[in-house]
């Protein structure tokens, strides 16, 4: 590898077939790799961003059968994110993708007033220790008080591809939640548009004028005489606070949810057992943009939710 090559991530290459003979570089890359025009606009500005048979090329150049097209993306860093030695639990990692099991109490990305102590700070430090030059690009996020699996892209191309999968509902996200009461019916779909509460902008509500929001749920366990339940949920959409809002909407708010839970004077003794909202992203599945293989990961319930589960299971029937 030359010093020049060290500026770039691993190249993505395609070989032109007889059916693609005479097409432009842009057309072949869009057809075979699904590269967006925005990304092509970025890579074509660098000397080795786009090459055909090792020589610099442009998106409108015509190609012939057997030509090898390569695109190279310049390496980036999250210069605005301070690297901190915050332990992270990496469930999977390769050159393109990082899957982490986030603990509750950790914000995913720095925000106003929270510039340090986030998952991003820990991941940037993780890559620094590995000698990798990578920018932090989460595909999706979890609330601070929600634990579980988060996917992070390591290159602009992977981020583009997985973002498109997310938008097309081709990324599988399954959650486990402990809720008050017993959903009726025990399994079903909540199709309730969500938007901000006009009286409280930080709060979301189900409203006819909101954004389409769909949550599928299934009761896994019931506790006491309808006192509480463990439910598993899958999302078709990813609105802010979606699970929390939808569970409240059907009369089964999450245990420990300070924003959407019941009033303080209506909480049972086991409310504080978990110490936070009882929601965990337990399963994640996606198609790897490079290998095209479907991959799945699971994360077991963390100790605090295991304790809550044991306590609920001991409730009298």
DSSP bridge partners of 284? 173, 297
CA dist 247 → 57, 79, 186, 220, 302 (Å): 53, 39, 12, 15, 21
Under a CB-based contact definition with an 8 Å cutoff, are residues 203 and 253 in contact? no
Each residue's pLDDT tens digit, 185-235: 999 999 999 999 999 989 999 999 999 999 999 999 999 988 999 999 999
pTM as predicted: 0.91
Strands (E) located in 110-246? 137-138, 147-153, 172-180, 187-191, 194-197, 200-206, 214-223, 228-235
Each residue's pLDDT tens digit, 172-199: 999 999 999 999 999 999 999 999 999 9
Query: pLDDT value at position 298?
Result: 98
Under a CB-based contact definition with an 8 Å cutoff, are residues 48 and 85 in contact? no
Q: How far apart are CA 144 and CA 141, in angstroms?
A: 9
Structure tokens at 108: 């995913």
Q: How far apart are CA 64 and CA 19, in angstroms?
A: 10
State the 10-residue block means of pLDDT for the chain, 317 residues long: 66 94 95 91 88 94 96 89 95 97 94 88 96 94 95 96 93 96 96 95 94 96 94 93 96 93 71 88 97 97 95 90
Domains and CATH numbers, the chain: 5-71 (3.10.290.10), 90-167 (3.30.2350.10), 172-313 (3.30.2350.10)
pLDDT, the chain, mean:
92
The catalytic residues are: 143
Rounded to 10 degrees, the C-alpha dihedral 182/186/191/195 comes to 20
Separation of CA 9 from chain center: 22
Q: How far apart are CA 103 and CA 96, in angstroms?
A: 23
């Amino acid at each position: 590898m030359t010093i020049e090559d060290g500026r770039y991530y691993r190249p993505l290459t395609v070989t032109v077939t007889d059916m693609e003979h005479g097409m432009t570089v842009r057309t072949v890359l869009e057809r075979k790799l699904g590269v967006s025009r925005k990304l092509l606009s970025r890579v074509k500005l660098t000397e080795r961003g786009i090459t055909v048979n090792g020589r610099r090329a442009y998106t409108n150049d015509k190609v012939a059968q057997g030509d090898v097209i390569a695109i190279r993306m310049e390496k980036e860093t999250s210069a605005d994110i301070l690297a901190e030695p915050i332990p992270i639990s990496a469930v999977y990692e390769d050159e393109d993708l990082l899957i982490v099991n986030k603990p509750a109490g950790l914000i995913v990305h720095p925000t106003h007033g929270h510039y340090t102590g986030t998952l991003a700070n820990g991941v940037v430090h993780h890559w620094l220790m590995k000698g990798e030059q990578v920018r932090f690009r989460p595909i999706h996020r979890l609330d601070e008080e929600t634990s579980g699996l988060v996917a992070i892209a390591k290159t602009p191309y992977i981020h583009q591809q997985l973002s498109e999968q997310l938008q097309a509902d081709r990324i599988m996200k399954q959650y486990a939640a402990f809720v008050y009461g017993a959903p009726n019916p025990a399994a079903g779909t909540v199709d309730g548009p969500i938007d901000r509460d006009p009286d409280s902008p930080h709060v979301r509500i189900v409203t006819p004028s909101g954004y389409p929001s769909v949550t599928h749920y299934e009761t896994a366990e019931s506790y006491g005489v309808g006192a509480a339940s463990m439910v598993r949920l899958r999302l078709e959409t990813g609105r802010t606070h979606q699970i929390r809002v939808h569970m409240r909407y059907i009369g089964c708010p999450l245990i420990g949810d300070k924003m959407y839970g019941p009033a303080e004077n209506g909480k049972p003794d086991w409310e504080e057992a978990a110490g936070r909202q009882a929601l965990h992203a337990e399963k994640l599945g996606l198609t790897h943009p490079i290998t095209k293989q479907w991959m799945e990961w699971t994360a077991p319930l963390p100790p605090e939710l295991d304790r809550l589960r044991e306590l609920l299971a001991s409730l009298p029937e």
